[in-house]
Amino acid sequence: MGIRFSETREIPVEQLEALFLLALWESGKYPEKLGRAIRNSDAVVSAWDENKLVGLGNSITDGEFLVYIPWLLVAPEHRRRGIGTGIMNRLMKIFPHIPRIVLEVNREQQGFYERLGFAENNEVVSMTLKNE
């Protein structure tokens, strides 16, 4: 059986926790918050290998001008099989009327996103304020 994609926001927190920890993402240490964040997203695309969550992407939008994609992750043992591309292609098609999709990436991930049509924007600087 192949990979199945879903657009539900109702994903068991145990599955989210396991995926995020496998991918070494700090968010996995906070499964309840993670579950709320996914349920509060405007769109979610998940990838499943039978009953196991192996990939996830989400987006947040203002509904008119901008879509922001904060997360795209695939379990290490499922990478390089088209899952990330499948998730991104589905996410990008959900809001076709919105002119700008924005995301932040690490330099080592840049090539993946460029192959999907994204380009580095040298006119802006990414800034973060940690509210701790």
Angle between helices 31-39 and 13-22 (to 10 degrees): 110
37 within some domain: yes
What SS3 state is found at 100?
Answer: strand
The pTM of this model reads 0.90
What does the pLDDT look like over 42-85, one tens digit per residue?
A: 999 999 999 999 999 999 999 999 999 999 999 999 999 999 99
Number of domains in the chain: 1
Range of the domain at 15: 3-115
Q: What percent of the chain stands above pLDDT 70?
A: 99
Q: Domain for residue 127, yes or no?
A: no
Question: Residue 31 domain-assigned?
Answer: yes
In-domain check, residue 126 = no
Q: For residue 11, is it left (φ>0), alpha (ψ between -120 and 50) or beta?
A: beta
Residue 73 lies in a domain: yes
Residue-wise pLDDT for 77-109, tens only, equals 999 999 999 999 999 999 999 999 998 888 888
The answer as to whether 82 is a domain residue is yes
Rounded CA-CA distance 105/120 in Å is 10
For 20-70, the DSSP string reads HHHTT-GGGG-HHHHHHHHHTSSEEEEEEETTEEEEEEEEEE-SSSEEEEE
CATH (domain of 47): 3.40.630.30
Q: Greater confidence, 128 or 11?
A: 11
